[in-house]
């Protein structure tokens, strides 16, 4: 078995996969669609970060692929529904780099409010410009958080510790932490926030959510941050509002089109603007975060390969079945979620004399997943019969653990 790891996840990702006997192959950058299809021949595990796009075409061309690990928070670069239909489980790291993103956001909020980018540039140019003009403490200012998930909530707590007032808006019902105040709409948040920061997910419905209208609704002199997804924001509109002075500063870590490899050229309408911080998608790129992500995702992949556990999978039912003491085999069975499949599975085992020691079923949309521990011999005829069921997507027989 082989694992292909792209975009340099932390080296500790190799250990969990190698321990299962996988041959781990690394490639420094991302791959385009055709490159990836060619590279996935005879590959069972794919590891990526944010730049590699895994389309339905790629997935259909990789019949040996069992699992994908996204060594990052987001999974919008993967066609999750297509992966599920092909019987490919996808795992990510939704929590491991939360602190890193929060710390970058806090650093940028302080730097922009103090206009440190301009002071730094002037001194590097040999010009002494000591002035308090346009510089503010963050204490007492209002932080508006758009998206109150893992990152937004932790940022809320840290910002309050700095003395900021926190307001937030989220489409889902979220419990406010500390003294944070939920706003009834995005517009209501923009009317009161001195700093607006985006921390929403990459679902298609969020594309273009922040444009010229939203920038115009921001308070004059407010600051804007986007550390979530590049396609959320109209950066031409941001450029115009920074130039006019309506937006006093901005920090952007994500872009609609990002280079695939280090050293590739980069351009943006935000380059050269005053009091604007541009970073190359490094919100979660600390050594601590990458080490945690490498360990977390690789162990999820290894566990799925070894015993079928799908805890925290983002596209197939999340199941864990503790090993039965008398079990000899474990059958991992992904199938289309149609009525009667579980009864058919159990009938097939019974007809071939296979005794069930433990079993668990879960469904997620159009996908069903059954893990079954067998305590007796498991005739090849039983596996063949299940494989021929019309609703079968992926069938694996594993040694009981």
Q: What tens digit of pLDDT does each residue of 52-89 get?
A: 999 999 999 999 999 999 999 889 899 999 999 999 99
* pLDDT at site 97: 87
Q: 2-95+288-307 architecture in CATH?
A: 3-Layer(aba) Sandwich (3.40)
Residue scoring higher pLDDT (29 or 314): 314
* Gyration radius of the chain over CA positions: 25
Length of the chain: 401
Mean pLDDT along residues 100-108: 97
Residue 150 Cα distances to 93, 245, 290, angstroms? 12, 32, 17
- Rounded Cα distance between 282 and 95, Å, is 16
Residue 164 zone, left/alpha/beta (φ > 0; ψ -120 to 50; rest): beta
DSSP string, 83-97: HHHTT-EEE--SSTT
* Contacts with 105 (C-beta within 8 Å, 6 or more apart), sequence order: 151, 155, 197, 225, 227, 251, 283
DSSP state of 232: G
Query: Does the predicted TM-score (pTM) go above 0.75?
Result: yes
Using the predicted structure, report yes or no on whether residue 39 has a pLDDT greater than 90.
Answer: yes
Tokens matching residue 314: 């983002």
Please write the tens of the pLDDT for every residue from 118-129. Answer: 999 999 999 999
Which of 3.40.50.2030, 1.10.3720.10, 1.10.730.10, 3.30.70.260 would CATH assign to domain 329-399? Answer: 3.30.70.260
Q: What is the dihedral of CA 247, 223, 276, 99, to 10 degrees?
A: -160
Fold of 98-285: Rossmann fold (3.40.50)
Domain boundaries, the chain: 2-95+288-307, 98-285, 329-399
Residue 315 Cα distances to 11, 79, 335, 366, angstroms? 26, 10, 13, 11
- Domain 2-95+288-307 and domain 98-285, same fold? Reply is yes
Give Cα 64 to chain centroid, integer Å: 24
Residue scoring higher pLDDT (87 or 95): 87
- Rounded Cα distance between 54 and 86, Å, is 13
- Asked if 82 contacts 68 with a C-beta cutoff of 8 angstroms, the reply is no
- What's the mean per-residue pLDDT of the chain? 95
DSSP string, 42-77: T-SEEEE-SS--B-HHHHHT-TT--EEEESSS--TT
Tokens matching residue 24: 């781990």
**Confidence band, pLDDT 50/70/90 cuts, at residue 378:** very high
* Residues identified as active-site: 229, 258, 281
SS3 at position 82 = helix
Mean pLDDT along residues 328-352: 95
Sign of CA dihedral 242, 247, 253, 256: negative
């Amino acid at each position: 078995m082989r694992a292909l790891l792209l975009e340099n996840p932390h080296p500790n990702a190799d250990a969990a996969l190698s321990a299962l006997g996988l041959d781990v192959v690394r490639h420094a950058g991302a791959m385009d669609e055709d490159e990836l299809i060619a590279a996935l021949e005879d590959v069972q595990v794919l590891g990526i970060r944010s730049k590699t796009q895994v389309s339905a075409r790629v997935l259909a061309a990789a019949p040996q692929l069992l699992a994908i690990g996204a060594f990052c928070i987001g999974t919008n670069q993967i066609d999750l529904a297509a992966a599920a239909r092909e019987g490919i489980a996808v795992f990510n790291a939704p929590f491991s780099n939360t602190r890193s993103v929060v710390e970058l956001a806090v650093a940028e909020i302080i730097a922009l409010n103090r206009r440190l980018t301009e002071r730094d540039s002037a001194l590097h140019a040999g010009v002494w410009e000591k002035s308090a003009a346009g510089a503010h403490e963050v204490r007492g200012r209002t932080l508006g958080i758009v998206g109150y998930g893992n990152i937004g909530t932790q940022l809320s707590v840290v910002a309050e510790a700095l003395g900021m007032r926190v307001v937030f808006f989220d489409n889902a019902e979220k419990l406010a932490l500390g003294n944070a105040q939920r706003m009834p709409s995005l517009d209501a948040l923009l009317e009161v926030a001195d700093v607006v920061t985006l921390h929403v997910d990459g679902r298609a419905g969020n594309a273009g959510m922040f444009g010229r209208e939203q920038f115009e609704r921001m308070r004059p002199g407010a600051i804007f941050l986007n550390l979530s997804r590049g396609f959320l924001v109209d950066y031409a509109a941001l450029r115009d509002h920074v130039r006019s002075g309506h937006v006093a500063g901005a920090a952007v870590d994500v872009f609609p089109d990002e280079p695939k490899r280090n050293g590739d050229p980069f351009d943006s309408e935000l380059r050269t603007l005053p009091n604007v911080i541009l970073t190359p998608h490094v919100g979660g790129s600390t050594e601590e975060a990458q080490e945690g992500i490498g360990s977390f995702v690789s162990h999820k992949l290894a566990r799925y390969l070894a015993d079928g556990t799908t805890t925290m999978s983002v596209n197939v039912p999340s199941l864990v079945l503790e090993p039965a003491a008398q079990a000899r085999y474990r059958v991992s069975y992904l199938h289309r979620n149609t009525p009667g499949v579980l009864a058919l599975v159990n009938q097939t085992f019974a007809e071939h004399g296979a005794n069930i020691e433990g079993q668990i079923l879960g469904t997620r949309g159009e996908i069903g997943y059954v893990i079954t521990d067998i305590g007796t011999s498991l005739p090849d005829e039983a596996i063949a019969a299940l494989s021929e069921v019309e609703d079968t997507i992926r069938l694996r027989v594993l040694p009981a653990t």
